[in-house]
């Protein structure tokens, strides 16, 4: 039962007599365990709260609009502790973190509530039948699932959890109930690729249209894998073959399945990293549909290019002619060529604008991690010390934790700015936002 840690002044709850320190037991006779229970049961126009206050149990009824809040605050956003991962995945990135980082970085969550609230992927191994019942009753959708393999024995081996194969049956229940599913396959060389990837695609495509998309991403490997399962990165040639294998499957699937726009359906998507490493041209914007997997690194660069080009096409020549500044952008090795291309397109239209684009090698994780979101302040500082940075350095906002105050190595943006002697600003992964930042034009 969650403790009420605050009651907003003049709120419905305050007027009804709810107090800070009360414990919320039930709403309309339904037990309240966490934020999902709370929000779902709060949707009724009349709610009777069963509260524990000291030695007493009391009930308070509040009348309100159907979706109106009543003004209660709780100790955590989930109104409960995060559910810790029970797996020992042989590819787990958290196990590959170096020592000495802040404690929260080593916490492994596997929480279905975060799948709905924040888009996290869950393995289903933490769930029981009653949890699936609740998801179906509340129609919590979409549910993002880390599948990795549909071969039950292989999934158990990869996740080191004896329930890993059995819980795949939950996909059937969720799909039959009309819950949207989005899958993820972390591809490990020589383990779940090749024929096993073919099997996983075949099995997961059977859940269409409930399973509306599945991302295929290469395993992330750092230099801190001491004592862990031996894994090797995909070669450029192998990355290209993964793309071709997915394309072949999608082509066959699209012959018998139709997307909402009437064209052939596409369900499996290789992450941008496969394209970059193999030298395969990125698909255009239309390939990714609604970009359901963009937060998983699928279509992120194509979306960035499309949004940037849209902003550039709508800009007036007179406005661009007035831009007169030198700025810099630092990014991971994966996005460097794309950002350099966009910077070139912009400076062709802006003769007074100079953009220095820098690729930062991720020494913190050993050099094989190339995404911008895992760059540290220390690596950025080492790469850019003495470099020409102009009046401002732009970085992806994903380099910071959610609170926006720390890089992975606990460097602060203020420390980086002071040591480099330049203003540092952070930009969302949005082409329009990048265009606005580089030009300095405010609309």
C-alpha neighbours within 13 Å on the C-beta side of residue 275: 19
**Cα gap 390→327, rounded to integer Å:** 5
Residue with tokens 């540092």: 424
- Angle, CA 150 vertex, CA 106 and CA 243 arms, to 5°: 85
Ordered alpha helix ranges (H), 7-104: 12-16, 35-41
**Cα gap 100→86, rounded to integer Å:** 23
Residue in 287, 266, 228, 202 with CA at minimum distance from that of residue 97: 228
**Cα gap 210→257, rounded to integer Å:** 13
**Cα gap 258→253, rounded to integer Å:** 9
Q: Looking at the chain, which residues constitute the CATH 3.80.30.10 domain(s)?
A: 94-297
**Cα gap 228→291, rounded to integer Å:** 34
Query: How is residue 71 written in tokens?
Result: 């003004």
**Residue ranges in the chain whose pLDDT is less than 70:** 112, 116-117, 443
What value does the mean pLDDT of the chain take?
Answer: 94
Cα maximum dimension of the chain = 74
CA distances 113 to 81, 143, 438, 443, Å, are: 11, 9, 37, 37
Residues 187/241, Cβ–Cβ less than 8 Å = no
Beta bridge partner(s), residue 191: none
**Cα gap 324→354, rounded to integer Å:** 8
Neighbours of 174 (CB within 10 A): 24
What architecture does CATH give domain 304-439?
3-Layer(aba) Sandwich (3.40)
Q: Looking at the chain, which residues constitute the CATH 2.30.42.10 domain(s)?
A: 4-74
4 by DSSP, 3-state: which?
A: strand
DSSP assignment letter at 234 = P
Residue with tokens 């004896």: 162
Full-model pTM: 0.89
**Cα gap 104→124, rounded to integer Å:** 22
CATH of 94-297, one of 1.20.1260.10, 3.90.700.10, 3.80.30.10, 3.40.718.10: 3.80.30.10
**Cα gap 441→443, rounded to integer Å:** 7
Q: Which fold has domain 4-74?
A: Pdz3 Domain (2.30.42)
Residues 199/161, Cβ–Cβ less than 8 Å = no
DSSP assignment letter at 178 = T
Looking at residue 116, what is its pLDDT? 67
Looking at residue 443, what is its pLDDT? 60
Instruction: Please state, for a pLDDT cut of 90, what percent of the chain lies above it.
Output: 84
Residues 374/332, Cβ–Cβ less than 8 Å = yes
């Amino acid at each position: 039962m969650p403790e009420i840690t605050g009651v907003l002044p003049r709120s419905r709850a305050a007027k009804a007599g709810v107090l800070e320190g009360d414990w919320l037991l039930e709403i309309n006779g339904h037990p309240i365990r966490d934020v999902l229970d709370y929000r779902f049961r709060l949707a009724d126009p009349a709610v009777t709260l069963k509260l524990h206050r000291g030695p007493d149990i009391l009930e308070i009824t509040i009348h309100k609009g159907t979706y109106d809040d009543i003004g209660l605050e709780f100790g955590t956003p989930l109104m409960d502790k995060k559910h810790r991962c029970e797996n020992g995945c042989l590819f787990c990135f958290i196990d590959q973190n170096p020592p000495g980082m802040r404690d929260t970085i080593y916490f492994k969550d596997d929480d279905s509530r975060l799948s709905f609230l924040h888009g996290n992927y869950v393995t289903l191994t933490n769930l029981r039948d009653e949890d699936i019942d609740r998801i179906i009753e509340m129609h919590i959708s979409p549910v993002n699932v880390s599948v990795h393999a549909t071969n039950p024995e292989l999934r158990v081996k990869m996740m080191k959890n004896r329930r890993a194969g059995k819980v795949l049956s939950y996909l059937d229940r969720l799909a039959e109930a009309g819950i949207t599913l989005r899958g993820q396959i972390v591809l490990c060389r020589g383990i779940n690729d090749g024929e096993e990837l073919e099997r996983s695609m075949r099995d997961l495509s059977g859940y269409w249209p409930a399973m509306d998309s599945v991302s295929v991403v290469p395993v992330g490997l750092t230099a801190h894998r001491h004592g862990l399962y031996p894994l090797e990165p995909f070669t450029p040639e192998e990355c290209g073959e993964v793309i071709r294998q997915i394309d072949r499957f999608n082509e066959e699937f699209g012959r018998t399945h139709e997307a909402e726009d009437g064209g052939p359906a596409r369900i499996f998507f290789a992450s941008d990293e496969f394209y970059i490493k193999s030298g395969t041209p990125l698909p255009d914007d239309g390939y990714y549909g609604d970009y359901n997997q963009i937060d998983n690194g699928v279509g992120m660069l194509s979306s960035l290019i499309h949004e940037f080009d849209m902003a550039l096409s709508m800009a007036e020549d007179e406005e661009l002619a007035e831009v007169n500044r030198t700025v810099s952008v630092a990014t991971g090795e994966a996005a460097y060529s794309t950002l350099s291309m966009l910077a070139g397109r912009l400076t062709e239209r802006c003769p007074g604008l100079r953009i220095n684009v820098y690729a930062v090698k991720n020494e913190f994780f050993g050099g094989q991690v190339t995404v911008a979101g895992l760059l540290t302040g220390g690596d950025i500082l080492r790469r850019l010390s003495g470099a020409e940075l102009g009046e401002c350095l732009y970085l992806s906002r994903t380099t910071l934790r959610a609170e926006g105050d720390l890089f992975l190595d606990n460097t602060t943006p203020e420390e980086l700015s002071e040591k480099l002697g330049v203003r540092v600003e952070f930009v969302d992964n949005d082409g329009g936002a990048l265009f606005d930042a580089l030009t300095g034009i405010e609309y």
